[in-house]
Amino acid sequence: MKKYRKLIRTVLFALLLAFVFRSYLFASYIVDGESMEPTLYDGNLLMVNKVVYDWQEVNRHDVIVFHANETEDYVKRVIGVGGDSIEFKNDTLFVNGQAVDESYLDPLRPNDGKLFTDDFTLNEVTGVNQVPEGHIFVMGDNRRDSLDSRYFGFVEVDTIVGKVDVRYWPFSQVALQF
């Protein structure tokens, strides 16, 4: 009988820990769509760190989940943060006038002679020259097929659910930190 009490107590403690981790520290998400290929694929299961931005600022190139509206959450890559000016020219990202390496896009870039990311300036797509403070500019890695800040504008930092830390399904694609 004493053996069973110890087992029950251990199981209850494990369930309590799992509940706390799941409710307050991490969330699980399913990728829906192709906008983040080749980084993430439709149906991938993600573990999202919900508390990381309580301790640090959102950084360029972070892959995040945010509330797009009351019923949908999107997963995208942060391209610009408050104060940044953004421009794409000849398939190259420029942030604050400096070219930025986006080698994570290389596996998806088709060799068809067309731009992977159409040229634009922040002012052309949003009407302002800089990302406002408290906001971010996001894009999907599949630049030709992504509903992102080029279409719906800036994302408020307060709507961020968290940073994608782990892809845990399918097992053949398990990865940490994007």
Q: Show Cβ contacts of residue 69 under 8 Å, excluding neighbours closer than 6 positions.
A: none
- Measure the CA–CA gap between 49 and 23, rounded to whole angstroms: 11
Q: Choosing from 35, 146, 149, 163, which is the catalytic residue? A: 35
Task: Give 136: exposed, middle or buried? Use CB within 10 Å, 0-12, 13-18, 19+.
Answer: buried
Cα-based distances in Å from 152 to 40, 51, 52, 70, 119: 21, 26, 25, 15, 17
Q: CB of 5 within 8 A of CB of 12? A: no
Annotated catalytic, 50? no
Q: CB of 30 within 8 A of CB of 43? A: yes
Q: Choosing from 23, 28, 76, 146, which is the catalytic residue? A: 76
Annotated catalytic, 146? no
Q: Show Cβ contacts of residue 9 under 8 Å, excluding neighbours closer than 6 positions.
A: none
Q: CB of 31 within 8 A of CB of 40? A: yes
* Residues marked as catalytic: 35, 76
